[in-house]
Structure 1
Amino acid sequence: MIDLDLLRDDPDRVRASMEAKRIGDPSAVDRALDADRRRREAVTELNGLQQRQGELGREIGPLMKAGKRDEAAPLLDESNRVKAQVKELEESVRELDSTLRDAMLAIPNPIHESVPVGGEDANQLDAEWGVKPSFDFEPLPHWELAEKHGLVDFERGAKVTGAGFPFYVGKGARLQRALVTLFLDLATEAGYTEVQAPILVNEDSGIGTGQLPDKEGQMYHVAGDDLYLVPTAEVPLTNYLRDEILAPDALPIRFCGYTPCFRREAGSYGKDVRGLNRLHQFDKVELVRFVRPEESYDHLEELREDAERAVQALGLPYRRLTLASGDLGVTQAKTYDLEVWSAGQGRWLEVSSVSNFEAYQARRANVRYRPAEGEKPQFVHTLNGSGLALPRIVSALLENGQQADGTVVLPERLAAVAGFDRIG
C-alpha cells in the first residue's frame, strides 16, 4: 500500500507511475482522495460532537445531582441528539475507512526513479556471466532428455493431478532434493536464517504481500477453510512479522525458506509452457529481507548478489536485467531478473526475480520498527528474491550439460550434494 501522504501531496506522480507500469485503474487515485477528504471531514465533525458530548455530561451531572431535572431536561435532549449523531458518524467513518482502504489497495507501488520506463523491450541488460556451451551435435531440449533418462514423468503427473504437476523420479527426484539443499546452504552461509514455513496461508497474508486482491485468479483457493496455497515462500516469510513492531537493533532480518509453490498460470500457452518451463507446482528457495528504509537499495544489491551466487555455483551462463516499468507487478518498486541460457531451446529462461518493495508490503502487513528507543514506529522496507526457482534451473542443467554420448554432466558443486556427477 502506498503512503497516504504521498497520495495527498503528489497524486500526479502516483498516476504517472500507474501509467508507466500499465497496471491499475487511475480512477482509484480519485476514489482514494475523495474518501480521504470525506473521512477527514467526518472525523473533524465527530471530534467536535464528542467534545460537545463530554461538555454536556459535565453540565448534566451536577444538575441531576442537585435535583434540577427541569433545568437539565433540554441538555438531556441535546445529549441524546448528539449521541445519535455520534453513532451515525462513527458508522460513516468506518465505511469511509473501508472505502479508502479498498481504493488504496488498488493503487500499485510507484516505481523507483532508476527504473527504465516502457514495456518488455525497454528492459535494461546490465550484465552477462559465463560462456554459452557449444556442441558438435544438435542439443536436445530438456523434456526429451528428461524422458530419455527417466527423470520426470509428465504424463503420469497429468493423470494423477493434471497438466503442470509432474512426477520427479529416481535421479530426477534426487536432483530436486540436492538443489534445494545447495540453495539453502548457500543462503545460510550468507547469513540468512532458515525457516520452514506453512504452504497454506489466510487471506490477510495474501493481502499483506500483495497477492490479494490483485492475483486471486492465479492462486489455488481451499474453499472449505478459506485458505490459499502459497504461490511463493515470500508470502508466509514476509507475514511472519505481520502486525509487529521490531526493536531498534532487530534490523536487518534475513530469512530463507524452501516451499513448493502453486500457481494456476491461467492464460499461459505455447512454447513457454513446454516441459518444465511453466508449471502449476514447483519448488523454490526464497530469500526475504526486512531492512531500514535508508538502507534498502544497498540491500537490493546485496540480495541480487546472493541470487547470482547461486547461479554461479552451478556454472550456468546467465544475464541480469533491470526490468522496465511495464514489466513490473503491482508491488515492486524495482526488480532485477536473472535469466539462464537454455542450450536446447536456444533462449534465456528467467530463474530469479529480485525486488525492492520499499514500504508497500510493510504498510499492508503492518510491519514496523522503532528507529531508536522511545521513537515513533516506522514501516520497514521489505525485499525478496528467488534463490532459486528449480524448474528452469533443471532445464538449463540438462540442456547445457548434455554430452555427445547422450549423458548429462552435473556441475561439481551440485554433484557433491547429489552424490552423482553424471546422469545416464
Structure 2
Amino acid sequence: MHDIKWIRDNPDAFDAGLKRRGLDSETSPQLFSAHLIALDEVRRTAIVAVEAAQARRNAASKEIGQAKAKKDEEKAAELMAEVAKLKDDLPKLVEAEKAASETLDAALAAIPNLPADDVPNGPDETTNVERHRFGAPPVLAFRPRQHFDLGEGLKLMDFDAAAKLSGARFVVLKGHLARLERAIAQFFLDVHTTEHGYTEVAPPLLVRDHAMFGTAQLPKFAEDQFLATRQISQDEIQERMANFGESERTALLRLYVGDKDYHWLIPTAEVPLTNIVRESILEEAELPKRFTAGTYCFRAEAGAAGRDTRGMIRQHQFYKVELVSITTPEESQNEHERMLACAEEVLRRLGLHYRVVTLCTGDMGFASQKTYDIEVWLPGQGMFREISSCSNCGEFQARRMQARVRSKEGRIRPVHTLNGSGVAVGRALVAVLENYQNEDGSITIPEVLKPYMGGLARIERAA
C-alpha cells in the first residue's frame, strides 16, 4: 500500500515509478497520481465537513446555555433546532467520509510497489540481468532424463494416482523419494535455524482475509488462491450433499454450517510469517526479526494454463521452506543481500549449478521493490529454472498490515519486510533427481543429505 501523503508530495516520482513498471497513464489513469490525489481531495473535504459540523454542534450547545442564562428563549430555540439538525446530518457526513476513505484505500490497494532505483528496466523475463553463477553443469556420459521419467522409472513418483485423488498438478511420492523430499526440507531448516539465525515457526496453513491482504495476495490475485471455507446457504448444502451417504452428509454439515470467516490456504508461508508483526509497534532494538518455516503451499496456478503440465515444476500443492525478515528501512538492503546468501548456501552445499538474476521492472512481483531469482540448472530440461525468489518489499506490505517500528528517539514509521524461498523443496527435489541421476536410472544421494536418509547412498528402482 502506498502513502497518499508521499504521493501528494512526489507525484512525478510516483508516476515515473509506475511507468517503469510498464503501466500507462492513458490506459490505466486510475493508477496514477492525478486520480489518486483527486480521490484524496474528496476524502479531505469530507473530513473537513465532519470536523466543521462537530465543532459547530459543540459551539452551538454552549451557546444554548448562554442564551438560556440570558433568558433569550427565541435564540435558545433556534440554536436547539440547529443542534438537532447537525445531529441528524452528522451520520451522513461521517458515512460520506468513510466511503471516500474506502474508495481511496481500494484504489491504493490495486497499485503495485514502485521499483527500487537500481532495478533494471525491461518488459519481461527476457530483460532480467544475470548477477553471477555458481558451479558448472554435471558432465553426464548419457542423455539425461527429466525428473518425471526418473521418478516414474523408479516407481516412486505417481501422477496417475494423484490425478484420481485430486486431479491435475498433483503427485504422490512414495518410499525413498518421499523421504528424500522430507530430508531436503529438514536440511534446509537445520541450516537456516542453526547457522543463519532464523527462528523456526510452525504457522497455520489457513489464514483469514486480512492476512492475505497484508502481504498483497488479496484482492488482486484472488483467482490464484484456494478458498477453503465460506458461508454457504442451506439450499447449497443440500445440493452438495445429494450424492453422499448418511455419514458423509453429517460430516459435510459439520464442515459447512456455522462458518463465520473466510479462510484461505496459504500460497506461501510468507503470508503467516510476515503477518506475525501485523498491527504492532516494534522497538528498533528488536529488529531484525528473522523467521523460517517449512510448509505446504497451495496455488491455483490460474495464469499457468498449458505451462509445465507434466511433472513437479508447477503444482497446486508443494512444499517450501520460506525465509522472512522484518527490519528497519536503513537495513533492508543489507538484509536483502544476506537473505540471498542464505538461500544460495543450501544450494551450494547440495552441489547444484545455479545462477542469480535481478528481475527487471516488468517481471517483478506486485509487492516487491527489488527481487533476486535463483535459477537452478536442470540437465533433463537443459535449462535454468527458478528455485528461489528473494524480494525486498520495503514498507509496502507493512502499510497494509499496520506494522511499525519505534526508534530510540520515539519516531514511529513502517517497518520493511522481506521474503524469500530458502528454497522451494519440490523444485530442489527435481534438481537433485536430474543432477544426480545415473545411466541406469538410479539417483545418487548428495553427501549432505545422507544423514537425513539413514546413510542411504543411492535410490534404486523399487521392487
- Structure 2 length-normalised TM: 0.88
1:50 aligns with 2:54: yes
Separation in structure 2 between the aligned mates of residue 393 and residue 421 of structure 1, nearest angstrom: 18
**Structure 1 residue 241 displacement after superposition:** 1.4
Name whichever of 22-31 and 328-337 sits farther off. 22-31
Structure 1, residues 121-178: CA drift from partner, whole Å, max 9, x if none? Answer: 2100000101101111111111011011122211100100111121110011101111
Distance 2:125 2:182 in 1: 34
State the AA in 2 paired with 1:27. Q
Q: Which residue of 2 aligns with 1:82?
A: 86
Instruction: List per-residue Cα deviations over 1:316-370 (Å, max 9, x = no partner).
Output: 0000000000001211000000010001110111010000000000000111111
**SS of the residue 2:164 aligns to:** helix
- TM-superposed CA distance for 1:269, in Å, is 4.3
User: SS where residue 403 of structure 1 aligns?
Assistant: coil
The separation in 1 between residues aligned to 2:101 and 2:125, in whole angstroms, is: 37
1:346 equivalent among 382, 387, 393: 382
Please give the alpha-carbon distance, in whole angstroms, between the structure 2 residues aligned to 1:188 and 1:266: 34
Matched, 1:400 2:406: no
* Aligned counterpart, 1:102: 106
Cα distance in structure 2, aligned partners of 1:151 and 1:311 = 24
Give the structure 2 partner of residue 273 of structure 1: 309
Percent of pairs with identical residues: 41
Contact 2:46-2:100 at 8 Å conserved across structures: no
Please name the residue that 2:154 is paired with.
149
User: Do the aligned residues in 2 keep the contact of 1:31 with 1:103 (CA within 8 Å)?
Assistant: no
Unaligned runs of 5+ in 1: none
Once residues 271 and 329 of structure 1 are traced to their aligned partners in structure 2, the CA distance between those partners, rounded to angstroms, is 19
1:162: which partner in 2? Answer: 167
1:232/1:284 contact within 8 Å kept = yes
Of the structure 1 ranges 188-197 and 42-51, higher mean CA displacement relative to structure 2 is found in: 42-51
For residue 138 of structure 2, what is the aligned residue in structure 1? 133
Correspondence for 1:309: 345
Q: Contact 1:150/1:170 (CA < 8 Å) preserved in 2?
A: no
Partner of 1:27: 30
Q: Bigger CA drift: 276-285 or 14-23?
A: 14-23
Amino acid at match of 2:30: S
In 1, the alpha carbon distance for the partners of 2:305 and 2:96 equals 47
Q: Distance in 1 between matches of 2:5 and 2:267?
A: 31
Distance 1:8 1:236 in 2: 32
Three-state SS of the structure 1 residue aligned to 2:58 is helix
| 1:211-244 C-alpha deviation (Å, 9 max, x unpaired) | 0011100000124242110000000111111111
Structure 2 residue aligned with 1:117:
121
Determine which of 411, 414, 419 is the counterpart of 1:384: 419
What is the CA–CA distance in structure 1 between the aligned matches of 2:18 and 2:310, rounded to whole Å?
33
Equivalent position amino acid for 1:55 in 2: A
SS in 1 for 2:131: strand
Q: Is the 8 Å Cα contact of residues 128 and 318 (structure 1) preserved in structure 2?
A: yes
SS in 1 for 2:192: helix
Measured in 2, the distance between the counterparts of 1:266 and 1:255 equals 29
Deviation for aligned residue 1:198 = 0.5
- Cα distance in 2 for partners of 1:406, 1:88 equals 73
Match of 2:15 in 1: 15
**Two-structure CA RMSD over aligned residues (Å):** 1.6
2:395 is matched with 359
2:31 maps to a residue whose letter is A
2:317 matched to 1:287?
no
Structure-1-length-normalised TM-score:
0.96
Where does residue 178 of structure 1 map in the other structure? Answer: 183
In structure 2, what residue type is equivalent to 1:6? W
Aligned amino acid, residue 8 of structure 1? R
What amino acid is the match of 1:86? L
**Alpha-carbon spacing, 1:26–1:307, altered in 2? closer, same or farther (3 Å):** farther
Cα 1:267–1:41 shift into 2, 3 Å: closer
Q: What is the deviation of 1:47? A: 1.8
1:299 aligns with 2:335: yes
- Residue 206 of structure 1 is matched in structure 2 by 212
Secondary structure of the 1:150 match is coil
Partner letter of residue 395 of structure 2?
A: A
Q: Is the 8 A contact 2:275 2:401 kept in 1?
A: yes
Query: For 1:287-341, what per-residue CA distance to the aligned partner results, in whole angstroms no more than 9, with x for missing partners?
Result: 0000001110010000110110111121100000000000012110000000100
What does residue 91 of structure 1 align with?
95
- Displacement of 1:268 in angstroms is 2.0
| SS in structure 1 of the partner of residue 14 of structure 2 | helix
Contact 1:23 1:330 (C-alpha < 8 Å) held by counterparts: no
Pick aligned residue for 1:418 from 428, 440, 453: 453
Match of 2:221 among 215, 222, 228: 215
- Rounded to whole Å, the distance in 2 between the matches of 1:339 and 1:40 is 47
**Residue 294 of structure 2 corresponds to residue 258 of structure 1:** yes
Aligned to 2:285, what secondary structure does the other structure show?
A: coil
Cα deviation, residue 5, structure 1: 2.2
- Kept in 1, the 8 Å contact 2:156–2:173? The answer is yes
Q: Which stretch of the first structure deviates more once superposed, 35-44 or 64-73?
A: 64-73
Structure 1 Cα separation of the partners of residues 383 and 305 of structure 2: 17
* Count of aligned pairs between the two proteins: 423
> Helix, strand or coil for the counterpart of 2:362?
helix
Kept after mapping to 2: 8 A contact 1:21/1:329: no
Shift of residue 90 of structure 1?
Answer: 1.1
- Do 1:152 and 1:168's aligned partners in 2 also have CA atoms closer than 8 Å? yes
Q: Which amino acid aligns with 2:214?
A: G
